[in-house]
Amino acid sequence: MLATLMPAIEIHGLEKSYKTGFFGNKLKQGLKPLTLSVEEGEVFGYLGPNGAGKTTTLKLLLGLVFPSGGTARILGRDLNDIEVKRFIGFLPEQPYFYDHLTPLELLDYYARLSGVDPRERKRSVDTALARVGMTASGKTQLRKLSKGMLQRVGIAQAIVHNPKLVLLDEPMSGLDPIGRREVRDLVQELNEEGKTIFFSTHILSDAETLCDRVAVLNKGELKGVGVVADLLRQVSGEVEVVWQGAKAISALSALGARCHATGDTVRAVLPERLLEAALDALRVNHARLTRVTPVQATLEDYFLARVGEEKSAEVTA
């Protein structure tokens, strides 16, 4: 769902340096100056490998750590505005809940913390629990719940005060495919109800199916931001070529195509820019062309192109 009323998050040159080293005398840039905005109504994916600065950004937005520079506004208000907390829900990366509590008790506690009107509290707790499909387990101790169920309780905690903006740090990590699917569906539903969702992840397929836009971060630095389809267009494409005639394999392999033969049928994948040369080689070798299909680039291809190159340069250095 996309509605452009006002930015839900506006970040201008926000940065964070951590003191490191034995004497705390060295500085490490956890987040280099970041400028980014997230529109109201968006599902925004914040992508990056370990140590990219995702959690640092979320903690800055929540006021849990102080920026070394820059500013940010949430729903038009300054970060330091205490009122803004009422409109934000947050699921931390590794939530720690007392495991002898039940979901109902936990949510009641968070509803108190986030200032839900006492008269509304029971209804808010029941609504949040129902919202994540956990009503039936409301009185079961948390230690008896599966990881997927715990994650849903964590999301219920983030929405118990009906926030406009929900920040989720790695909401799908550690879940099996069914658990991931459930969280993905839930994020989508919350968005359809009008909430803006900003979530960090390194699971690219989840971001690809869910997000209106994504940002890619590496080593504290923004590497790209945009609509997933636009980012994918920046990745140089590949084509799949299928033909009859094994004789042409050596010519195509020499061009750099990856060929797989099944009997006389050959399937090859090669960069789009080599297509003309490949078709010429097929003609020369009297091969019978069956089909040419563009191979759809994935967010993973983009990610590897933007982040992977740096990593492989490091490994060989």
Ligand X SMILES: Nc1ncnc2c1ncn2[C@@H]1O[C@H](COP(=O)(O)OP(=O)(O)OP(=O)(O)O)[C@@H](O)[C@H]1O
Q: Which of residues 69-108 bind Mg ion (CB under 5 A)?
A: 93
Residue from 50, 262, 296, 316 touching ligand X (CB under 6 A): that is: 50
Question: To the nearest whole angstrom, how small is the minimum distance from the Cβ of residue 54 to Mg ion?
Answer: 5
Residue type, position 211, single letter = C
Q: Quick check: 306 binds ligand X (CB under 6 A)?
A: no
Q: Alpha helix locations (H) across the chain?
A: 54-62, 103-113, 118-131, 147-159, 177-192, 204-210, 228-233, 249-255, 275-284, 299-303, 309-316
Tokens of 208: 């690809």
Question: To the nearest whole angstrom, how small is the minimum distance from the Cβ of residue 175 to ligand X?
Answer: 15
Q: Residue 166 and residue 196: Cα distance in Å, rounded?
A: 6
Q: Quick check: 55 binds Mg ion (CB under 5 A)?
A: yes
Residue where the block lists tokens 């209804």: 123
- Lay out the site mask for ligand X across 17-36 (x = CB under 6 A, - = otherwise): -x-x-------x-x------
Of these partners, ligand X, Mg ion, none, which one is at the site of residue 11 (CB under 5 to 8 Å by kind)? Answer: none
Closest CB to ligand X among residues 18, 109? 18
Q: Quick check: 80 binds ligand X (CB under 6 A)?
A: no
Q: Quick check: 196 binds Mg ion (CB under 5 A)?
A: no
Closest CB to ligand X among residues 19, 233? 19
Question: To the nearest whole angstrom, how small is the minimum distance from the Cβ of residue 94 to ligand X?
Answer: 9
**CA angle at residue 224 from 33 to 220, to 5 degrees?**
35
Closest CB to ligand X among residues 14, 134? 14
Q: Closest Cα partner for 202 from 179, 180, 233, 229?
A: 180
Helix, strand, coil percentages (3-state) for the chain, rounded to 5, are: 40, 30, 30
Q: What residues make contact with ligand X under the rule CB under 6 A?
A: 18, 20, 28, 30, 48, 50-56, 93, 202
